[in-house]
Amino acid sequence: MTVPLPDLFKRVTLAPGGVRINTLVGGNETGSPVLLLHGYPQTHVMWHHVAPVLAEQHTVILTDLRGYGDSGKPPGGPIHEAYAKRTMAWDQMLVMRELGYEEFAVVGHDRGARVAHRMALDYPQSVTKLAVLDIVPTRHALRTADLQLGLAYWHWFFLAQPEPLPEHTISADPAGWVRGRLASGRRGGQPFDAKAVDEYVRCFREPAAIHASCEDYRAAVGADLADDDAAAARGQRVTAPLLALWGEHGFVGRRYGDVTEVWREYAATVTGRSLPCGHYLAEEVPRETAAALQHFLAD
């Protein structure tokens, strides 16, 4: 079993759309289903504190996004469409349908929250609740970008550069890159679990994972931004109740203040608050994160 998650989560190998999606399922079989989506440069293991708490009341599904962890890492394509959030959202929809869930809640952190946002837009009949951890919409971040954002999110623009610049640079020291990204976002709370960090490094050492994660960011400034602009032009908003949580000491909290105000432009019903941490809420302040999610997800 992948460390450090407890044995109550059982691994299921699924490839309903032709791309293997590493999936774990566990918890209360009579509870409503909740899909947890991880961020960069991590895997489903980032939920190791929070998932067992949510599993007391819910069936919890943990996945690795395509390109990450032990999921498949297909070529990105000429315009990086294989890593568009629309494509990654479709992966997750297929997984949930394969497991027999037509309606479910989604909780996403970082890149996973961007996939979750797209799921809620594309499949409003399926996503019953949406929780986004420490992000504002991709479109909002990019369309309001300035010097402050460029300095804080420099890796966005670095990773989006054409192949092979970022791949070559990261591959020189992938462990250092992963540990550096984690350290730069942490602002208090408890330290990362060493076994979890080792797992992130294990997965990220693979050249295909480095390339796929760069494709993720290339898609963000191309296909994802185009899709988000089109949704905004149509007046499309998230219809499911949305919870925004963010770290008060991280960039998102410092930059945007009350993040719920940003999300109200993109969703009909928004609640949320800051937590006393940086970017990695589920690992820095897991008790507070789990409690906020439990309250939001309660039937």
* 109 included as an active-site residue: no
Q: Could you read off the pLDDT of 40-79 as tens digits, one per residue?
A: 999 999 999 999 999 999 999 999 999 999 999 999 999 9
Q: Are strands 21-27 and 59-63 parallel, antiparallel or unpaired?
A: antiparallel
3-state secondary structure of 297: helix
In one-letter notation, the amino acid at residue 275 is: L
Residue 202, both tokens:
């294990």
Better-predicted residue by pLDDT, 6 or 240:
240
The answer to whether residue 197 scores a pLDDT higher than 70 is yes
Distance linking the first and last C-alpha atoms of the chain: 30
Name 105's bridge partners.
34, 129
The answer to whether residue 1 scores a pLDDT higher than 60 is no
Q: Express as a percent the part of the chain with pLDDT over 70.
A: 99
* 224 included as an active-site residue: no
3-state secondary structure of 76: coil
> Which of 38, 109, 117, 279 is labelled catalytic?
279
User: How confident is residue 8, by pLDDT bands cut at 50, 70 and 90?
Assistant: confident
Average pLDDT, the chain: 96
pLDDT of 3: 61
Angle subtended at Cα 115 by Cα 113 and Cα 121, rounded to the nearest 5 degrees: 105
The answer to whether residue 187 scores a pLDDT higher than 70 is yes
pLDDT of 5: 80
Residue 135 φ then ψ, to 5°:
-140, 160
53: Cβ contacts below 8 Å, ≥ 6 apart: 286, 290, 294
Task: Name the residue with tokens 């931004």.
Answer: 225
Contact predicate 44/38, CB 8 Å: yes
CA distance 163 to 214: 8
CA 50 to each of CA 82, 90, 131, 286: distance values in angstroms, whole numbers, following the listed order: 29, 25, 14, 6
Q: Could you read off the pLDDT of 109-128 as tens digits, one per residue?
A: 999 999 999 999 999 999 99
177: Cβ contacts below 8 Å, ≥ 6 apart: 41, 170, 204
The answer to whether residue 2 scores a pLDDT higher than 50 is no
The answer to whether residue 6 scores a pLDDT higher than 80 is no
> Which of 64, 70, 91, 110 is labelled catalytic?
110
Contact predicate 58/51, CB 8 Å: no
Average pLDDT over residues 274-296: 98
- Give yes or no for a cis peptide into 174 (omega within 30° of 0): no
3-state secondary structure of 105: strand
The answer to whether residue 230 scores a pLDDT higher than 80 is yes
